[in-house]
Structure 1
Amino acid sequence: MSAKTIMIQGATSDAGKSALATGLCRLLARRGVKVAPFKPQNMALNSAVTVDGGEIGRSQAVQAQACGLEPHTDMNPVLLKPASRDGAQVIIQGRAIGNMQARGYHDYKPIAMRAVLASHARLAAQYQCIVAEGAGSPAEINLRDGDIANMGFAEAVDCPVILVADIERGGVFAHLAGTLALLSESERARVVGLVINRFRGDPALLQSGVDWLQAYTGKPVLGVLPYLHDLHLEAEDSLSCGAPAAARSGGKLTVAVPALPFASNHTDFDPLRLHPQVDFRLVRAGQAMPPADLIILPGSKSVLADLAWLHQQGWEEAIRRHLRYGGKLIGICGGLQMLGRKLHDPDGLEGTPGSGDGLGWLDLETTLAPEKRLTRRRGRLALDDAEAAGYEIHMGVSEGPALARPALRFADGGCDGARSEDDQILATYLHGLFDESAASLAVLQWAGLVEPAALDYPALREANIDKLADMLEAHLDLGPIRHCLPEPR
């Protein structure tokens, strides 16, 4: 078997590439096509643990679900996790190989490309179709040399490209026409169709523009996709690029989360953002910590740097006051490490080698180690013995008396995290803590919510994928690109 590959590229970042790829994966899977997702290179702090024990971008895990597959490291062979202002942890085929500055990574790209092509070849041997997703825009002039994320990959595997642009941003015709103008002749030739995304209103009012665009570019417009209200897909990027819901004023429980500069896996909080009884507050730089029932310290790709930033914002005292008045506090992964007495980074894995003081509210210390822990876990929460499931992604090893009161006990007999003696603080390495309805209900009750409503988050995620596919079924014309797609089995 040798799969046909079709690639979704965007005229800008956040044009809707991930959503279009996800919906197309589900649409093809519904039609009986054996399809898999692929993203050559992803830059994101939201990641997932794969079935083969590696790490990939969160969006590719969602796309795998859309295909009816378990996520695999070959679906996102290069993942860059920003760890400083100009550097990132480089993950190749699911495994961290170290941190690189931007220039160093540029020199490394030929090696990364070999991993990309090897992963793509393995998928192509197993599936009928690969829906590949680009990154950013293919027309970024300064990034075209040695590109592996967009047209560099498309040229290497000789695949057709769909170009999508977001009309919500304005200038959609300039985005599409300008992107095509900046491509090479061979790159333009492989663009088989254009998609206009997130349109509000009557498509007939846009028809004159669509006609002009098709005549000017010589490319068919495959669809004008409507803006989908209340669509929720787990974001791949940082907190500033796609938090899925606004705070709900009038919620019965207020949850506040500091927007740390290097916050990772903020998709942990999507079930809280979407819960009808939760007023979710993302607290950004310069804002005061609001009165809250529950404060959560999120995961972090650079814990000491984020902890210093927390101090600069004056939020340590705000959290201390919150605890003094009986509020609840959760630390997840990097947040757990912040709650301890000390954090040691002897090898400089997240910055300058050395040690720093934690907040000191749990009697434990953490040492960062080169080997990253990547595992899926299932067990029971100390709160109400509720069933919990999720995944661990961390380089820290925590030790100390606080761990004698664990937050979770796993099915394999192991334990995780800690609870404070006064029962106000809970800390865990488990990402996805709120995904399971039972665990989410137990935590919300512990935080003070009386009679919390159950939210079936996995079912909600599945419904949103179907919503995307339904929209594409109605508004995307695959006719002009049918030759690029395999016949259903």
Structure 2
Amino acid sequence: MTARVLMVQGCTSDAGKSTVVAALCRWLARRGVRVAPFKPQNMALNAAVTVDGGEIGRAQAVQAQAAGVAPHTDFNPVLLKPNSDTGAQVIVHGHPVGNMDAVGYHAYKRVAMDAVLASHARLSEAYEAIVVEGAGSPAEVNLRDRDIANMGYAEAVDCPVVLVADIDRGGVFAHLVGTLAVLSPSERERIVGFVINRFRGDIALLQPGLDWLEEETGKPVLGVLPYMHGLVLEAEDALPRTHEARDGARLRVAVPAFPRISNHNDFDALRAHPDVECLFVGPGDAFPACDVIVLPGSKATRADLAWLRERGWDKAILRHVRYGGHVIGICGGFQMLGRAVHDPDGIEGAPGSTAGLGLLDMETTMGPRKQLRQVEGTLAESGASVSGYEIHCGVSSGPALARPMLLIGKHDGAMSDDGLVMGTYLHGLFDHPDALAALLAHMGVNNAAPLDIHALRDASIGRIADAIDQHLDTHRLAAWFGLDG
């Protein structure tokens, strides 16, 4: 069996590639097609742990959910996790191969392409269809040499490409025509159509532009997807663009937006909950009054801890606890709560040690072996079910761990005697409905409205798949994938 392949590329980052791929995966799965998502190269700090014990971008885990299959490292064979403005940890087939700067990684791309094509070959034999997501934009001509993320991959496997543009940004026709203009003739030829994303308004007013676009380029517009409000989907990497105050919220949660924040999807359940107002606090913001501070994961714990101190937010956190406020640390944020973080081998940056916030009696030492696992367990205090995954290099030790936050086969995390400070290595802490309700109750919100973030995400995937049926040329889609009508 050889899978049929369709690639979705975008005129810009955040044009909607991830969402369109997820929608197509669900659209195909509904028709009984065994389909796999695929992203040759992803650059993101939001990661997921796979069934084969590696890590991939969160977007590919969402797409796997849309396809009805378990996430696998072949879905995202190359993952780049930035740890500075010029360098990243390079992860191949789910496991780190080293830290590289941009020049070093460019030289490594020949090896990375071999990994991409190996994953593609395995998926092509195991599935009937592969829906591929590009990265950034194929118009980045400076990255054309040795490209593995967009047209370099498409040319190597000889697959058709759909080009997505975000009309909500403005300039959609210039984006599409300009992108075509900088492609090589063979690359331009493999573009089989356009999808315009996030349209608001009367389609009749847009139609003259669509007619012009088809005449100008000779390419069909496959459809115009509407701006869909209220979707609950995990962002690939970018933090939410806006924050809206929530009337009637009973709990205010503040999350410092570290420069190297990772897995900020940990807060999706809090952001979706009607009883909670959850806001990310950026570098230009004053630290707000709140009930709970949650320190998120970090790809560079010591550097982000220094960033906190530069803004005086360490003092704000300590003052918050003195006045009876709650603090929760997740992964790197948990490490920050201890007395010190040591990195003798320079795993996350320059070798050395950094004083922690001193809210828990423990220390953490970074090591070369990364812990990657899916886990299930209970909250130690309430016995509520909890599930998620661990992705971390550090090992924590100290008296604070004698009072764990979670019971997951072994004890995990720690909790202060007064219950105000707690931390864990578990990503997805708030995702299980039982754990969310218990944690909200611990923080003073009793009888909170029930919320199942997994169900909300799945319903959102269903909505965007419905939009494929309603707004795209499904006859062309069916023909590409060998389906009837």
TM band (smaller chain): over 0.9
**What is the letter of the counterpart of residue 135 of structure 1?**
A
1:430 corresponding residue in structure 2 = 426
Check whether the contact 1:363–1:401 (CA below 8 A) recurs between aligned residues. yes
Q: In 2, are the aligned partners of 1:246 and 1:273 still within 8 Å (CA)? A: no
Q: Counterpart in 2 of 1:313? A: 311
Alpha-carbon distance in 2 for matches of 1:469, 1:351? 42
In structure 2, the partner of 1:345 is 343
Residues paired across the two proteins, number: 485
Q: Does 1:105 align with 2:101?
A: no
Whole-angstrom CA distance in 1 between matches of 2:284 and 2:24: 40
Please name the residue that 1:73 is paired with: 73
Partner Cα separation in structure 2 for residue 487 and residue 238 of structure 1 = 35
Q: Is the 8 A contact 1:137 1:150 kept in 2?
A: yes
Report the Cα offset of residue 486 of structure 1.
Answer: 2.8
- Aligned counterparts, 1:227-376, within 5 A: 227-239=227-239, 242=240, 246-376=244-374
Counterpart of 1:158 in structure 2 is: 158
2:381 maps to what in 1? 383
Shift of 1:46: 0.4
User: What secondary structure does 1:288 align onto?
Assistant: coil
Q: Is the 8 A contact 2:11 2:163 kept in 1?
A: yes
Partner of 1:196: 196
Note the C-alpha offset of 1:487: 2.8
1:459 has 2:459 as partner: no
Identity %: 64
In structure 1, distance between residues paired with 2:269 and 2:31: 30
Query: How much does 1:312 deviate?
Result: 0.8
In structure 1, what is the equivalent of residue 476 of structure 2?
Answer: 480
Conserved in 2, the CA contact under 8 Å of 1:419 and 1:427? yes
Inter-partner Cα distance in structure 2 for 1:345 and 1:176:
46
Residues 245 and 283 (structure 1 numbering): CA distance in 2 closer, same or farther, change over 3 Å?
closer
Paired position in structure 2 for 1:469: 465
* Structure-2 residue corresponding to 1:6: 6
**Secondary structure at the counterpart of residue 42 of structure 1:** strand
The answer to whether the Cα contact below 8 Å between 2:468 and 2:474 also exists between their aligned partners in 1 is no
Cα distance between partner residues in 2 of 1:282 and 1:403? 28
- Which consecutive aligned stretches of 4+ in structure 1 deviate over 4 angstroms post-superposition? none
1:396 Cα shift? 0.3
Residue 395 (structure 2) aligns with: 397
Residues 138-180 of structure 1: per-residue CA shift (max 9 Å, x gap): 0101111111000000000000000000000100000001101
CA contact (8 A) 2:44 2:57 kept: yes
Q: Which residue number corresponds to residue 206 of structure 2? A: 206
Q: CA deviation at 1:335?
A: 0.5
SS of the residue corresponding to residue 479 of structure 1 reads helix
Q: Is the 1:33–1:486 contact (alpha carbons within 8 Å) kept by the matching residues of 2?
A: no
State the TM-score, normalized to the length of structure 2: 0.98
Partners of 2:334 and 2:172 in 1: CA distance: 44
How far residue 481 of structure 1 moved from its aligned partner, in angstroms, is 4.6
Aligned residue number for residue 435 of structure 2: 439
Q: Is the 8 A contact 2:222 2:473 kept in 1?
A: yes
Task: For 2:424, give the aligned amino acid.
Answer: T
CA distance in 2: counterparts of 1:187 and 1:103, whole angstroms: 25
What's the CA shift string for 1:230-289, capped at 9, x where partnerless?
1121011132xx458644244110001001100000000000000000011211112121
Pick closer, same or farther for the CA change 1:145–1:72 going to 2, 3 Å: same
- How far residue 384 of structure 1 moved from its aligned partner, in angstroms, is 1.2
**Structure 2: tracts of 5 or more residues without a match:** none
Summarize deviations over 1:192-233 as a string: whole Å, max 9, x none. 010111000111111100000000000000001111011121
Q: Give the drift of 1:471.
A: 0.8
8 Å CA contact 2:243, 2:279 repeated in 1: no
Letter of the 1:195 partner, please give it: V
Tell me, yes or no, if the aligned pair for 1:73 and 1:93 is still in contact at 8 Å. Answer: yes
Corresponding residue number in structure 2 for 1:449 = 445
Per-residue CA distance 1:83-127 (angstroms, 9 max, x = gap): 011111100010011111111101100000000000010000001
Secondary structure of 1:422's aligned partner? coil
> 1: CA distance between counterparts of 2:378 and 2:25?
34
Amino acid at match of 2:236: E
State how far apart, in whole Å, the 2-side matches of 1:220 and 1:315 are: 52
Q: Structure 1 residue 356: deviation in Å?
A: 1.2
C-alpha contact (below 8 Å) 1:232/1:244 kept by paired residues? no
Q: Is the 8 A contact 1:192 1:481 kept in 2?
A: no
The structural deviation recorded for 1:479 is: 2.5
For residue 125 of structure 1, give the secondary structure of its aligned residue in structure 2. helix
| CA positional deviation for 1:423 | 1.1
Q: In the alignment, is residue 420 of structure 1 matched against residue 416 of structure 2?
A: yes
Task: Look up the equivalent residue of 2:261 and give its one-letter code.
Answer: A
Q: What is the alpha-carbon root mean square deviation over aligned residues?
A: 1.2
Question: Structure 1 CA distance, aligned partners of 2:341 and 2:314?
Answer: 16
* Counterpart Cα distance in 2 of 1:98 and 1:383: 39
Question: How big is each residue's C-alpha offset from its partner over 1:300-332, in whole Å with a ceiling of 9 and x where there is no partner?
Answer: 000000000000111111111111111111000
Which residue identity does 1:206 align to in structure 2?
Answer: L
Residue identity in the other structure for 2:5: T
1:247–1:279 contact (8 Å) kept in structure 2: yes
CA contact (8 A) 1:262 1:300 kept: yes
Higher mean C-alpha displacement, 227-236 vs 265-274: 227-236
Question: Could you tell me whether the CA contact under 8 Å between 1:420 and 1:426 is conserved in 2?
Answer: yes
- 2:126 is paired with a residue whose SS is coil
Displacement of 1:344: 0.8
8 A Cα contact 1:293 1:448, kept in partner = no
Distance 1:478 1:68 in 2: 21
SS of residue paired to 1:120:
helix
